[in-house]
Chains A and B, each alone.
Chain A
Amino acid sequence: MTLLETLRVAAHALMRNKLRSFLTALGVIIGVGAVIAMVAIGEGAKARVEEQFASMGSNLLIILPGTTSAGGARGGFGSMPTLTWDDLKAIQTEVPSVRYAAPALRATAQVLSDEQNWTTSVTGTTPDYFDVRNWRADRGAIFADSDAESGNKVVLLGQTVVDKLFGAHIDPVGRNVRINNVPFEVVGVLARKGQSPVGQDYDDAAFVPAPTFQAKIQGGLHKFLAGTIFVSAVSPEATARAETQITALLRDRHHIQRGEDDDFSIRNLEEMANAQQEGTRTLTTLLASIAAVSLLVGGIGIMNIMLVSVTERTREIGLRMAIGAKARNILAQFLVEALTLSLAGGLIGVGVGLLVARRLADEFGWPTLVSPGIILIAVLFSALVGVGFGLYPARKASQLDPIQALRFE
């Protein structure tokens, strides 16, 4: 008896009881559907977090200047500029695991076009900053190193600022805007970046070269770097190394003794991202485990129905044995029936799971991510459930005595 024939016999037996077969498979359908949906949602959430952190910059470290302590009142980080321009140069040249380091001097200022005005965050920086943050110009171009060095009055605008000052469909490149009453030439518009993980609009910003910022917007303090330093490590794995190396370098440069506190602090975005991802992963695992339990319950349902079916069809089994079925034929028949139920349930479950995942993803505005791997695992697992829970009833059927079975009422 070939496998195909066994399959046909099993399918025929299942079709004799369509509703019951469907209800039995329903347990597996729900189980697999739930697993697929949960994993898809979890993966989608994870991808969303990854996307958000990636939008902040790649392998990002942010160095904040240190604290002051005046009469026992301790200021927070950034309350006093402790980072110098020479620190920045040292980081750029002396730390091998650092790819880019860029200053970010920040002020809130009013920007005016000929028609409108808009108050936004103005940042003084160098072209490296845009590499650190994976940010490119949509129109025009990022200002050059030469602009930064010679303090040219050029500005890059975020898309939101462009919308507010010029309207959405105007190309402002080449036009002038005024910041603190100083005219700046718009050299580029930055690509839309969306929201930060905390909901801040990245595109509501303007960028000017750092020396220009110091000269025209902030003024004063030329030794100290009155802002933060954005650092990009050479690889995601290198961020921790870069953090240690920069800490050592800055402590050395600032002559901080062993045991004394740092006068700066370093935020590692990679770690924050990992922590957040760990959270979603835990949640996904939890939900998927719960879903897997329902798959198990589905398996028990299959076993139950198969046992009922074996009892109900005792005479059929007896007849099949009398006309020449061997024990292994009967075993195969019932095993394949259980397997067909669970596999069909698994496949339908995958479909249902995908639909549910898509609906939920639409609801939350997440991407749906279902890897072929998880589908394969779900289908294989449902097959395993079928074999596992079908084996006992099938063995029971195959070990019947044909004489007793034929006499069974």
Chain B
Amino acid sequence: MNRETVLVQLEEVGKVYHMGDIDLTALAGVSLAIEENEFVAIMGASGSGKSTLMNILGCLDRPTTGRYLLAGRDVSHLESDDLAEIRNQTIGFVFQSFNLLPRTSALENAGLPLLYAGVGTRERAARARESLERVGLGDRLGHHPNQLSGGQQQRVAIARALVTRPKLVLADEPTGNLDSRTSVEVMALFQELGRTGITVVLVTHEPDIAAYASRVVVMRDGQVRSDRRQAARRAAVGELLTPAHEAVL
């Protein structure tokens, strides 16, 4: 593995939560390296530690033990303001429940991270528009979330994740609230991101969704149970129109 292209490097990362008198081990020494442009799906039952792993990968939480190098920088012990900066500049987040601001236009929602990056109003709007166009919502700039379908809302959220031009996009069950047709659309988008130099890490419990990734990491009891590369299933637009899918819908 070429170190130059490694984006995420976890070294024996452990996470212990103190719940009163009980110590709860969420991660028990996870080592993982993710290269640039990879599309990784993390799978596992609830309580397997996949959410904790995501939080640490996303710099929302710090490991108790071990080291986390993100783009070569050790971020294991940074202060919360520094972590906020890294989240802002290096990472994009996509959530299961979209988390868009209500009664706020798609354009403003997509541009929100730039607000905290100190980007001026005009450039913010221009980049948000560009980002929305990239996810195919160039004609929905002024729409509020409640005027958009679930798939469109998730695409606004993806545009928001992309607007800072991050190296890493973390998606936590991004298709959990979507029907299978729009799920495929969203997965197509993620696959496309991989082709444009963005690393995507996706948490899912659906094997169908994990199939679109080029690598699947399975977690169990706070450890990596299996880690394998695969030929990713192509989420072609044509696939959306196959009779099989029509039938599902």
A positions within 8 Å CB-CB of B: 1-2, 5, 9, 12, 16, 315-316, 318-329, 402-403, 406
Contact = CB atoms under 8 A, between A and B. Distances in A.
B75 to A, nearest CB: 14
Given A5-B121, A329-B116, A403-B61, A324 B101 contact: no
A230 B122 CA distance: 77
Interface of B: 55, 58, 60-61, 80-81, 84-85, 87-89, 93, 95, 99, 101-104, 112-113, 115-118, 121, 160, 164
B116 A323 contact: yes
A322 B115 contact: no
A306 to B, nearest CB: 18
Nearest to B170: A322
A352 to B, nearest CB: 29
B95 A406 contact: yes
A13 B84 CA distance: 22
Contacts of B121: 5
24 contacts: A1-B115, A2-B118, A12-B104, A16-B102, A315-B99, A316-B99, A316-B101, A319-B99, A322-B58, A322-B60, A323-B87, A323-B93, A323-B112, A323-B113, A324-B84, A324-B87, A324-B89, A324-B113, A326-B81, A326-B84, A326-B85, A329-B116, A406-B95, A406-B99
Which has the most chain B C-beta neighbours within 10 Å: A16, A316, A321, A326?
A326
A269 to B, nearest CB: 65
A327 B88 contact: no
A328 B121 CA distance: 20
Contacts of A329: 116
A319 B98 CA distance: 10
Nearest to A318: B99
A320 to B, nearest CB: 7
A319 B60 CA distance: 11
A135 to B, nearest CB: 67
A324 B88 CA distance: 4
A323 B160 contact: yes
Nearest to A402: B60
A403 B102 contact: no
Contacts of B115: 1, 5, 9
A316 B88 CA distance: 16
Contacts of B101: 316, 319
A322 B93 contact: yes
